[in-house]
Amino acid sequence: MSEPRSLNFLEEIIENDIAAGTNGGRVHTRFPPEPNGYLHIGHATSICLNFGLAKKYDGKCNLRFDDTNPVTEETEYVESIMNDVKWLGFQWDNVLYASDYFEKLYDFALTLIKKGLAYVDDSTAAQIAEMKGNTVTPGIDSPYRNRSVEENLELFAAMRDGKYRDGEKTLRAKIDMAHPNLLLRDPLMYRIKHEAHHRTGNKWCIYPMYDFAHGQCDSIEEITHSICTLEFIHHRPLYNWFIEQLGIFPSKQYEFARRNLTYTVMSKRKLLQLVNEGHVSGWDDPRMPTISGMRRRGYPAEALRNFSDTIGIAKRENIVDISMLEFCVRDVLNRTSHRAMAVLDPVKLVITNYPEGSTEIFEAENNPEDVTAGTRQVPFSRELWIEREDFMEEAPKKFFRLTPGNLVRLKSAYIVKCEGCVKDADGNVTEVHCTYLPESRSGNDVSGLSVKGTIHWVSAAHAHTAEVRLYDRLFRVEDPSNEDGDFKEYINPDSMQVLEQVYIEPSLAAAHTGHTYQFMRKGYFCVDTESRDGHLIFNRASTLKDTWAKEKKK
């Protein structure tokens, strides 16, 4: 993953600009979220890109909240966004808000009115849409298009003063009603909305439209490279038009393809539906593609950054296989997480020749991938919990785990020989019996035996219990947004399985929220935010291997 890669197209543009001395060779980007929801993995790409470019070229990156729509924006979202950016490992130079520039934007609007380039329109939204024309028919001028500058100034001031109801008037740019790009057919600049804003309260009842706010904010902050997603490509001429007419700092817009991922949805509107309709427990549900959901699930920030770097950026829409992200997650967790033993589906293993009441302590490596990770102590005794699936009374030839007559190593402890089992009246196995070979003690094995199977275990007398939540993909089809009907019809009904009582080794009792462990042979598990002393909860971040690919091949 650390192999040098060629420059992406934005790096090429930036390097050319630096070479040409554009803007004095300065690089200044921004990440401009609208605080109307929690950030998702697509936003993570944009964050890594904007902050990453600033870092690479010794520039700056602003965090700017694009808060021009009072209806959908909330402080809760602002806080979660700041938290997510920091967690991803980035630090902004400034936190800014589009709403800080409302007065300045208003002045820009006055400038355009005075230049005869903006007018107040009394037409309704429906009338404006009708007069717009379409790709083959030019639009029609509004009857209010030729109002005098004085009248426009007066009406616009009255709009600001709250003299009109929502929708009664708008401010429009006067460009060209026959322009081939429909966005330039006298676009709206301001609309009336009698709504309280999360920062400006009731100070304003007119709010600028995205197109009139975004480029102007970039310009005010002297952003050199304003990077956005492809759907804004047709907005670029308008972005430039406003900047040119106002004669302000010439920020430039560049577009890249949105990040799409299989087996999930990625628009905040859809994610909000999942939350509001109770399909998930909240924005940070570990099955959500949100940054907060992934964090809670145990995905490391480094894995998200690596994913972003590995995939790179494209100029054309595409959909990335979610297993690429899962690969990045496993790659980091394998290097960084401590190993521990936990038995998810327990059955008792009794070592019939081990002295009753005795306990031994084994030193086990915390992480064989990392010698600095140290060791931990794991108690061993006569009765252990093992996974039910690690015993078979009648096993096929290649079953190297416990079946009568087989030798198996208990991880970090002894080799045992399976002797048989005890069953209840219904034929369910209640205990597995074995004998151990004292000379096979791990670290001092003089048995001369080599066995094919190694299984994990937890001493029954020392075990703690925990709740474990197993997660699977939230949707059962690759691209739920592109299927017939509502995307929610494709929710995977088995995306979460709760195991109420899992046995864990005692060293895990002190595990802290947010810490991720490898449960040997079972996957990576992270302590959930709902976990409490006395009621530990682990989320499965990932299996050890890509089990889904195997499923699909069946």
**What is the binding site for ligand ATP (CB under 6 A)?**
32-34, 42-43, 45-46, 228-229, 258-259, 266-268
Residue type, 219: S
Half-sphere exposure of 329 (CA within 13 A, CB side): 24
> Which member of 191, 268, 296, 469 is catalytic?
268
The least CB distance from residue 258 to ligand ATP, in Å, is: 4
Q: Among residue numbers 31 through 70, which ones bind Mg ion (CB under 5 A)?
A: 34
Q: What spatial distance separates the first Cα and last Cα of the chain, rounded to whole Å? A: 30
Sign for the CA dihedral angle at 434, 436, 441, 447 comes to negative
Q: How far is CA 362 from CA 279, 341, 447, 458, 472, in A?
A: 44, 13, 18, 12, 34
Please report how close the Cβ of residue 236 comes to Mg ion at its closest, in angstroms: 16
251 binds, among Mg ion, ligand ATP, none (CB under 5 to 8 A by kind): none
374 SS3 class: coil
Q: What single DSSP character describes residue 316?
A: S
Nearest by Cα to 175 from 226, 237, 253, 254: 237
Q: Is 268 a catalytic residue?
A: yes
CA–CA separation, 546 and 288 (whole Å): 19
11 or 34: CB nearest Mg ion: 34
Complex with Mg ion: residue 259 or 296, whichever CB lies closer: 259
Query: Which residue, 259 or 401, is less far from ligand ATP as judged by CB?
Result: 259
Whether residue 258 lies in the annotated active site: yes
- Sheet strand arrangement including 415-423: 453-455, 407-410, 415-423, 429-437, 346-351, 383-387, 458-459
Stretch that binds Mg ion, among 26-34, 70-78, 529-537, 543-551 (CB under 5 A): 26-34
Q: Among ligand ATP, Mg ion, none, what binds residue 338 when CB lies within 5 to 8 Å by partner kind?
A: none
For Mg ion, which stretch binds (CB under 5 A), given 5-13, 28-36, 41-49, 129-137?
28-36
**Which pair of structure tokens corresponds to residue 141?**
């001028």
Q: Which residue is nearest to ligand ATP (CB)?
A: 42
Question: Other C-beta atoms within 10 Å of 182: how many?
Answer: 13
Annotated catalytic residue, options 64, 191, 199, 258: 258
Shorter beta-carbon distance to Mg ion: residue 34 or 383: 34
Cβ 13 to ligand ATP shortest distance, Å: 16
Write down the least CB distance from residue 43 to ligand ATP, Å. 5
- Least distance in Å: CB of 253 to ligand ATP? 10
Q: With respect to Mg ion, which residue has the nearer C-beta, 34 or 93?
A: 34
Binds 32, which of Mg ion, ligand ATP, none (CB < 5 to 8 A, cut-off by type)? ligand ATP
Residue at shortest CB range from Mg ion: 34
CB neighbour class for 145 (10 Å; exposed up to 12, middle 13-18, buried from 19): middle
Active site residue 330: no
Q: How far is the CB of 22 from Mg ion (least distance, A)?
A: 27
- Strands lying side by side in the sheet with 118-121: 118-121, 170-173, 188-192, 206-208
**Closer residue to ligand ATP (CB): 63 or 131:** 63
Which region, judged by CB under 5 A, interacts with Mg ion, from 30-38, 102-110, 221-229, 324-332?
A: 30-38
Angle between helices 102-114 and 149-160 (to 10 degrees): 160
Q: Tell me which residue has tokens 């905040």.
A: 268
Residues forming the active site? 34, 258, 268
Which positions touch Mg ion (CB under 5 A)?
34
